[in-house]
Amino acid sequence: MRGALVPALTLLAGAVCGYLIALSVPREETLSLRPGALPLQQFGRLDLVILAGQSNMSGRGSAGVAPPITQDLRGRVFIFGNNYRWQEAREPVDSPRGQVDMVSVDPDAAVGPALYFAAHALEREPDRRFGLVPCARGASLIAEWQRNPSDDTLYGSCLKRVRAASTAGRPALLLFYQGEWDGLDPDQLAGTPFAGFTHASDWGDYFVRFANDFRSDLGQPALPIVFGVLGDHANPVKFTRWAEVQESQRALRLEFSARIETAGLPLRDGVHFTAVAQAEIGRRFADAWLDQF
């Protein structure tokens, strides 16, 4: 009986948190029908998609060369922004404007995979409605995603905003792309607060722990997770443990999860994907989710 109460209390706490945050935002910002707000009729309908990881999830693709979105996202896809307000779907999804939890601020956020994910999913299943919840931060390590409920950690901040967004729907999927910094040569982090915290060969163990803890805290032990395996890079001197991360990602075993490959997709610089690549990653995320869950 005691064990059965834990998920219920977790969901109750999330709902209360979301309600209190919603009360702190002017009513017209959350319920009005004007562009940028979530229409009242969408409350409770949304499939919440959590976007976690580091810079390639936040997005670094150039908007000037981004492939067109093939679906009309208006009234179908919304973003629970870093300002804790619902807004219309537009890039950058992970915009730092009005950021509340500074631990995840990402001033360089640009074109990422999220809108392409939503567009492709809608192409396949037009009746869905999505709420995107950005949580990623560039240059983060898998160690920073380990369980810590404080909202000044990446884990705690992500958990808090998902609970707040849950007034409008239910978490349906976690998308995760991270590992670049864990592939760094350890000497690159010497003398920094991150020295000794990279995990290459055991990245998978840390990810599985994160995934299970996050599901438990949400009260959804079968929450689908789709993660990306690192693609290519162009700096062999800097990223000496990259292949170890890839191997660990491919070897991990986690129930209710799927992975996508990103090797061979074009890079904008030595490590970040172009907007064209992000469009393809979004499509692969959507296909993996819809095909396997």
For 155-213, how does the pLDDT look when each residue is reduced to its tens digit (9 = 90+)? 999 999 999 999 999 999 999 999 999 999 999 999 998 999 999 999 999 999 999 99
At residue 9 the predicted structure's pLDDT band, cuts being 50, 70 and 90, is very low
pLDDT tens-place string over residues 46-78: 999 999 999 999 999 999 999 999 899 999 999
Q: What is the pLDDT of residue 39?
A: 87
* Tokens (6 digits) for 30: 């959350």
At residue 43 the predicted structure's pLDDT band, cuts being 50, 70 and 90, is confident
d(CA 228, CA 246): 10
Q: What is the pLDDT of residue 255?
A: 98
Provide the b/e sequence for 144-174 (b: ≥16 CB within 10 Å): bbbeeeebebbbbbbbbbbbbbbbbbbbbbb
Question: Which pTM value belongs to this model?
Answer: 0.88
At residue 41 the predicted structure's pLDDT band, cuts being 50, 70 and 90, is confident
Instruction: Please choose, from the candidates 282, 224, 283, the residue with its C-alpha nearest in 3D space to the C-alpha of residue 255.
Output: 224
pLDDT at 16 over 70: no
3-state DSSP assignment of residue 78: strand
Mean pLDDT of the chain: 90
At residue 7 the predicted structure's pLDDT band, cuts being 50, 70 and 90, is very low
Domain residue spans of the chain = 2-292
* Tokens (6 digits) for 20: 């209190």
Residue 70's identity, in one-letter code, is T
pLDDT tens-place string over residues 17-39: 444 444 443 333 333 333 447 88
Q: What is the pLDDT of residue 189?
A: 92
CATH class for the region spanning 2-292? alpha beta
Nearby residues of 7 by Cβ (< 8 Å), 6 or more positions away: 219
Give the torsion sign (CA, 19, 24, 30, 32). positive
196: left (phi over 0), alpha (psi -120 to 50) or beta: left
Q: What is the pLDDT of residue 49?
A: 99
pLDDT tens-place string over residues 92-149: 999 999 999 999 999 999 999 999 999 999 999 999 999 999 999 999 999 999 999 9
Better-predicted residue by pLDDT, 194 or 216: 216
